[in-house]
């Protein structure tokens, strides 16, 4: 993997990947990616609160919930701006492509609006990370950023043999090491890790890995430092996969499996193809792993119950959801 970030796949990494795959397989079978809207919203708020708290934001989950509801809260102006910016980004994650550098800059511009004059731009000067008065990490020179960031995104696009689980962890570490922004590198690293994990499985949009990281914050920074000295992200991958697995197990405890039946499938399809005529094939595409016979029964029952309008006949038969 010439010019790719240095890391090794250890037995522990393989074990974690297998355990995470089993958890994701259970979620898929129980349809737990389709969590209730209230739970999705609660987990998203928890993710935002945890990621910002790691950077020193003082607002609580209750205060962030109030801000989301349009209520006024008492707190430092900077903290409130950080929350409002994060809500804008996390409420619309689907609009960002984690494989594109321009989307990284676009997300940073929103996340750091009114917080940093260079929001949405790579830094143009040197920067160091301090532990008290001691320099814990000196980031690469600003002039090398275009090359380093291009190579990092090339890794995402070209390393087809590497799972998105590992790519997410590698990218997270490398972004912290490169430190491409004047401010906001930590929260951007955690945001981009989530977006990359969502390419592995949609359930990661609603799983708060950040809250587990926050509870292990000292170890998080310690491992980052160890990887800096070692010149490889291997230890960080091991650490982060452990956090991801813990997050999935926590999610499974608070999420009830969804009963998948005709009513559920019709409701799921309606969210994706409402307002237009669609064929049986398009209905099947809106519901994963569905047979044509099951699709026909669903559509027939939906029409009988008045949930669907139909027109045409045989191969030309089309359906549309009613108001």
Question: Do 103 and 223 share a domain, yes or no?
Answer: yes
Q: Among residues 230, 254, 278, which one ends one of the domains?
A: 254
Query: How many other C-beta atoms are found inside a 10 Å radius of the C-beta of residue 293?
Result: 8
Residue ranges making up the domain that contains 42: 11-254
Question: Do 212 and 273 share a domain, yes or no?
Answer: no
Is position 278 within any domain?
yes
Reading the chain (323 residues) residue by residue, the pLDDT tens digits are 457 899 999 999 999 999 999 998 877 766 655 566 777 788 899 999 999 999 999 999 999 999 999 999 999 999 999 999 999 999 888 899 999 999 999 999 999 999 999 999 999 987 766 666 666 667 899 999 999 999 999 999 987 789 999 999 999 999 999 999 999 999 999 999 999 999 998 889 888 899 999 999 999 999 999 999 999 999 999 999 999 999 999 888 877 666 677 887 888 788 778 788 999 998 988 887 778 899 999 999 999 998 999 998 888 899 999 86
Question: Do 139 and 53 share a domain, yes or no?
Answer: yes
Is position 68 within any domain?
yes
Is position 5 within any domain?
no
Question: Do 219 and 300 share a domain, yes or no?
Answer: no
Question: Do 194 and 46 share a domain, yes or no?
Answer: yes
Structurally, how many domains does the chain consist of?
A: 2
Angle between helices 262-273 and 292-304 (to 10 degrees): 90
- The DSSP result for 109-130, as a single string, is HHHTTTT-TTTTS--SS--EEE
DSSP letter at 144 equals: G
Question: Do 76 and 147 share a domain, yes or no?
Answer: yes
Phi, psi (rounded to 5 degrees) for 137: -155, 130
Is position 3 within any domain?
no
Give, in order, the Cα–Cα distances in Å from 198 to each of 24, 69, 171, 180, 313. Answer: 12, 26, 14, 23, 40
Torsion, CA 261, CA 267, CA 273, CA 276, rounded to 10: 110
Residue 299 CA to residue 55 CA, distance in Å, equals 51
Of the candidates 144, 137, 198, 188, the residue with the CA atom closest to the CA atom of residue 167:
198
Of the candidates 229, 294, 232, the residue with the CA atom closest to the CA atom of residue 266:
294
Token readout for 38 is 């209230």
- Say which CATH number the domain at 215 has: 1.10.3290.10
Q: Among residues 210, 230, 254, which one ends one of the domains?
A: 254
Question: Do 296 and 199 share a domain, yes or no?
Answer: no
pLDDT in the model for residue 29: 66
Question: Do 282 and 181 share a domain, yes or no?
Answer: no
Which secondary structure element, helix H or strand E, spans residue 24, and what is its range? helix 11-30
Residue 168 CA to residue 171 CA, distance in Å, equals 5
Q: Among residues 233, 254, 275, which one ends one of the domains?
A: 254
pTM of the model as a whole: 0.79
| Dihedral angle sign, alpha carbons of residues 118, 119, 125, 129 | positive
Residue 248 CA to residue 28 CA, distance in Å, equals 12
Is position 4 within any domain?
no
Alpha-carbon Rg for the chain in angstroms: 22
Is position 2 within any domain?
no
Is position 156 within any domain?
yes
Give the three-class secondary structure for 136. strand
Phi, psi (rounded to 5 degrees) for 259: -80, 120
Question: Do 129 and 55 share a domain, yes or no?
Answer: yes
Q: Are 233 and 162 in contact (CB under 8 A)?
A: no
Q: Are 278 and 320 in contact (CB under 8 A)?
A: yes
Residue 181 CA to residue 1 CA, distance in Å, equals 26
Residue 254 CA to residue 273 CA, distance in Å, equals 30
Is position 110 within any domain?
yes
Question: Do 220 and 245 share a domain, yes or no?
Answer: yes
Question: Do 29 and 73 share a domain, yes or no?
Answer: yes
Residue 198 CA to residue 209 CA, distance in Å, equals 12
In terms of phi and psi (left: phi > 0; alpha: psi -120 to 50; beta: otherwise), the region of 56 is: left
Question: Do 218 and 280 share a domain, yes or no?
Answer: no
């Amino acid at each position: 993997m010439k010019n790719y970030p240095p890391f090794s796949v250890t037995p522990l990494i393989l074990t974690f990947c297998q355990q995470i795959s089993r958890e994701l397989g259970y979620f898929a079978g129980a349809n737990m990616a389709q969590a209730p809207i209230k739970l999705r919203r609660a987990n998203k708020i928890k993710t935002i609160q945890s990621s910002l708290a790691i950077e020193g934001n003082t607002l609580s989950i209750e205060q962030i919930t109030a801000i989301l509801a349009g209520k006024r809260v008492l707190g430092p102006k900077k903290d409130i701006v950080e929350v409002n910016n994060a809500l804008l980004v996390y409420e619309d994650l689907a609009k960002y492509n984690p494989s594109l550098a321009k989307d990284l800059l676009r997300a940073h511009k929103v996340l750091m609006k009114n917080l940093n004059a260079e929001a949405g731009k790579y830094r143009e000067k040197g920067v160091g990370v301090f532990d008290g008065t001691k320099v814990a990490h000196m980031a690469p020179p600003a002039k090398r950023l275009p090359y380093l960031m291009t190579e990092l995104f090339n890794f995402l696009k070209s390393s087809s043999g590497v799972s998105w689980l590992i790519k997410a962890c590698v990218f997270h570490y490398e972004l912290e090491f490169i430190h491409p922004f004047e401010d906001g590198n930590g929260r951007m690293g955690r945001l981009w890790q989530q977006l990359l994990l969502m390419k592995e499985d949609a359930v990661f949009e609603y799983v708060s890995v950040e809250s587990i990281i926050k509870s292990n914050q000292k170890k998080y920074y310690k491992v980052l430092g160890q990887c800096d000295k070692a010149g490889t992200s291997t230890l960080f991958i091991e650490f982060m996969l452990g956090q991801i697995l813990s997050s999935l197990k926590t999610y499974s405890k608070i999420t009830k499996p969804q009963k998948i039946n005709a009513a559920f499938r019709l409701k799921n399809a309606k969210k994706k193809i409402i307002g237009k005529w669609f064929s049986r094939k398009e209905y099947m595409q809106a519901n994963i792993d569905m047979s044509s016979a099951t699709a026909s029964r669903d559509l027939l029952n939906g029409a009988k119950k008045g949930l669907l309008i139909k027109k045409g006949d045989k191969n030309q038969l089309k359906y549309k959801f009613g108001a």
